[in-house]
Amino acid sequence: MDLHTRYPGLDDLRKRAEQRIPRFVFEYLDSGTGLEATTHRNATKLQEVQFHPSILHGPQTPDLTTSLLGLDYALPFGIAPVGMSGLIWPNAERLLAAEAARANIPFCLSTVASQTPEHVAPVLGDNAWFQLYPPKDEAVLKDIVKRVKAAGFKALALTVDVPVASRRERQTRSGLTQPPRFTPRILAQTALRPAWALGIAREGQPRMRLLDNYIKDMRNLPSTEHIGYLLRTSPDISYVRRVRDAWDGPLILKGVMDARQISGLEEEGIDALWVSNHAGRQFDGAPASIDALPQIRAATSLPLIFDSGIGGGLDVLRALALGADFVMMGRAWHYALGALGEKGPAHLTDMFTKDIISNLGQIGVEHLADLPARLVAQ
């Protein structure tokens, strides 16, 4: 059966992923923090953004190509970092990096991925970014930056919205610890998901391999306070300057939500801002990312990357219309992996592309830059 017939939307992939990966893994992927109000707010507020439908505009040929940070991409969306991707689906980081290279979209690897930059390097295209959680040790910072550069990553996204560990109650209730411990409860869940279990057996127990060289104390921590918290610090502007000195490529500041806090960042050498509330996984009292986007757009001329709450191609267009230059997604790609394994990422790319083209036809827009003119005034 054609995948578009069986899995026409993201929610279909989510439901199938829930059936194929262990419960503790699905809770890790799917959960937010607190009562998950921010997670739900992200989606609800995106759905409130409306466009005027168009008539009598004749046949169209939409152009989805997008330029960002000196590179041209085939599509206006890419693959955001998710920690411990390899826990969600075996070999996830390489599968996602390979799809990004094939589709000519960006792929961003997390500091707390289950594979190292060197392991992913052979399948990277020219569109790879690295997401940096800020290590407090200067030598560790410089070594990670050196390794990332040597592996072929072109842009660095410094995450600034995780000053402390969040409290993800659903994730904690699932029994997940860091590093994962296969307790009887976890083993029972694993036994019900043979495809996932066989893949994990083949790839090895997921762990944050990049950190192996830097952290010898592999104590068990709560699921939300993983081993990376032994390494990192809460950055300030002087830390941003140190990263800028260490990295000579494009530098993105990830986790920006308040337009009042971005003054002067361009002068500090920041090349782009990433508007994100961590998809509701960090702070349950945050506004929806889409609500913060227009104010940030008005306050800066820097390129803006957007994530949080994206549920389909129409949401991508909503973010672009309100000021984003590019859209990234994390959970969506992992639902696709959980649902379809190695076939999942390509299906998601195709699904979102078709959805974007369909909605552009309804709006009467061929070029993404013309989207704001079709917005319904709020």
Active site residue 40: no
Task: Quickly tell me which residue has 């040929």 as its tokens.
Answer: 61
Q: Do the beta carbons of residue 318 and residue 290 sit within 8 Å?
A: yes
* Phi, then psi, of 20 in degrees rounded to 5: -115, -15
Of the listed 119, 278, 334, 347, which one is catalytic?
Answer: 278
**CB-based burial of residue 330 (10 Å sphere; 0-12 exposed, 13-18 middle, 19+ buried)?**
buried
Q: Do the beta carbons of residue 348 and residue 333 sit within 8 Å?
A: yes
Helix axes 92-103, 331-340, angle to 10 degrees: 110
In DSSP terms, 283 is beta-bridged to none
Q: Using CA atoms, how far apart are residues 298 and 311, in angstroms rounded to an integer? A: 25
Task: Give me the count of residues in the chain.
Answer: 378
Residues forming the active site: 278
